[in-house]
């Protein structure tokens, strides 16, 4: 089973003017057609999943109201993503977008998202301006733990007009230690704090890393990608590494099909072979592509 642990879905209703500006800047930066990332409907996602042989994808709602004004509230965004999951129940897994600064309201929305909407967990977006380990959020995490929900937390870099300083993996470490029963996925391997992310995942049994948003590095700087992935394997273990894409943001650079194929066929560059670093065998590739995520989401 192949599982993409990190996808986005949006349309004209869900995108705020600020988010549209971020998408425009992304398209200009990488010199591709804006429509390739502006059109992120579940129908298109399912089509590209089929082409790539991806069985399931985790789709993320976003709570960006503390920073960006949208056309719908965060609760409406959660409802919309829940509707997508309902339309494709065998293919999509939903995570609610909830900013923990909402206090009691955040806990209520968490309970609604898990109990009524059928989400598997929650997406945290510290880029909006909060530190994940703020003690004020502990009642929220206590309820996450009680509900058996998964957390996917953004770590690492982000787009313009967002706050980078809140996104260090070290802040996830605090939450992982104080709430050891919560399964926490750190997005993007924490890049540019990748070594920190790998260390946090290796230290904490309940923390994982996904390789979403690494497509451009894989394509244009493969040595850096493989060196990082080998270090992750040797430091935190192969069972902690999850396949992800950040779809649709990097699909113009590397399609889902090519990204999956790249992991299936990955072979260490010659300089790493000369250092006698271990290759990834078929069992390890299958764990990255979906076996590890299947355990996290009890599939």
- 121-124/3-8 β-pairing: unpaired
In this predicted structure, the answer to whether residue 149 has a pLDDT above a threshold of 90 is yes
- pLDDT band of residue 29 (cuts 50, 70, 90) is confident
CA 226, 227, 232 angle in degrees (round to 5)?
90
R_g (Cα) of the chain, nearest Å: 18
pLDDT digits (tens, 9 = 90+) for 89-147: 999 999 999 999 999 999 999 999 999 999 999 999 999 999 999 999 999 999 999 99
pLDDT in tens, 187-238: 999 999 999 999 999 999 999 999 999 999 999 999 999 999 999 999 999 9
Phi and psi at residue 184, to the nearest 5°: -120, 125
Backbone dihedral angles phi then psi of residue 215, each to the nearest 5 degrees: -60, -40
Write down the mean pLDDT value for the chain: 94
User: Is 90 exceeded by the pLDDT of residue 277?
Assistant: no
Structural domain spans, the chain: 3-296
**Cβ pair 133, 174 in contact under 8 A:** yes
Q: How confident is the model at residue 31 (pLDDT cuts 50, 70, 90)?
A: confident
The per-residue DSSP string of the chain comes to --EEEEEE-B-TTT--HHHHHHHHHHHHHHT--THHHH-B-HHHHHHHHHHHT--EEEEE----TTT---SS-HHHHHHHHHHHHHHSTTTEEEEEE--GGGTHHHHHHHHHHHHTS---EEEE-GGGT--TT-GGGHHHHHHHHHHT-EEEE--S---TTS-GGG--HHHHHHHHHH-TTS-EEEGGGGTTSHHHHHHHHHH-TTEEEE-TT-HHHHHH-HHHHHHHHHHHHHHT-GGGEE----BTTTTTTS-HHHHHHHHHT----HHHHHTTPPPP-HHHHHIIIIIHHHHHTT-
298: left (phi over 0), alpha (psi -120 to 50) or beta: left
Q: How much is the pLDDT for 32?
A: 84
- Residue 278 is predicted with a pLDDT of 85
- Quick one: pLDDT at residue 30? 79
Upper half-sphere CA count for residue 98 (Cβ side, 13 Å): 29
CATH architecture of 3-296: Alpha-Beta Barrel (3.20)
Give the mean pLDDT of 241-251.
96
State yes or no: pLDDT of 81 exceeds 90. yes
Q: What is the mean pLDDT of residues 163-171?
A: 96
Mean pLDDT across the stretch 148-176?
95
- Backbone dihedral angles phi then psi of residue 173, each to the nearest 5 degrees: -55, -45
Q: Could you identify the residue written with the tokens 């990097």? A: 250
Instruction: Check whether 173 has a pLDDT greater than 90.
Output: yes
Q: What is the DSSP string of 19-75?
A: HHHHHHHHHHHHT--THHHH-B-HHHHHHHHHHHT--EEEEE----TTT---SS-HH
The arithmetic mean of pLDDT across residues 270-276, rounded, is 87
How much is the pLDDT for 294?
A: 98
Look at residue 13 in the predicted model and tell me its pLDDT: 72
Whether 181 shows a pLDDT value over 80: the answer reads yes
């Amino acid at each position: 089973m192949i599982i993409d642990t990190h996808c986005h879905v949006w349309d004209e209703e869900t995108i705020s003017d600020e988010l549209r500006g971020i998408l425009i800047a992304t398209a200009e930066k990488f010199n591709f057609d804006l429509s390739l990332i502006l059109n992120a409907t579940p129908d298109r996602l399912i089509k590209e999943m089929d082409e790539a042989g991806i069985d399931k994808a985790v789709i993320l709602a976003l709570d960006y109201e503390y920073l960006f004004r949208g056309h719908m509230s965060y609760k409406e965004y959660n409802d919309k993503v829940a509707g997508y999951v309902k339309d494709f129940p065998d293919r999509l897994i939903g995570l609610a977008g909830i900013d923990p600064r909402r206090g009691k309201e955040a806990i209520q929305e968490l309970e609604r998202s898990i109990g009524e909407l059928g989400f598997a967990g929650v997406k945290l977006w510290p880029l909006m301006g909060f530190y994940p380990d703020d003690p004020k959020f502990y009642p929220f995490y206590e309820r996450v733990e009680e509900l058996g929900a998964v957390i996917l937390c953004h770590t690492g870099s982000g787009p313009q007009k967002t706050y980078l300083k809140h996104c260090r993996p070290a802040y996830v470490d605090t939450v992982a230690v104080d709430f050891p029963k919560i399964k926490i996925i750190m997005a993007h391997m924490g890049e540019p704090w990748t070594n920190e992310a790998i260390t946090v995942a290796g230290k904490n049994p309940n923390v994982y890393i996904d390789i979403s948003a690494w497509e451009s590095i894989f394509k244009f700087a493969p040595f850096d990608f493989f060196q990082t992935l080998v270090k992750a394997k040797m430091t935190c273990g192969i069972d902690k590494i999850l396949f992800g894409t950040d779809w649709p943001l990097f699909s113009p650079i590397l399609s889902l099909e090519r990204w999956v194929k790249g992991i299936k066929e990955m072979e260490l560059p010659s300089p790493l072979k000369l250092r006698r670093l271990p290759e990834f065998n078929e069992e390890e590739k299958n764990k990255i592509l979906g076996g590890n995520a299947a355990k996290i989401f009890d599939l």
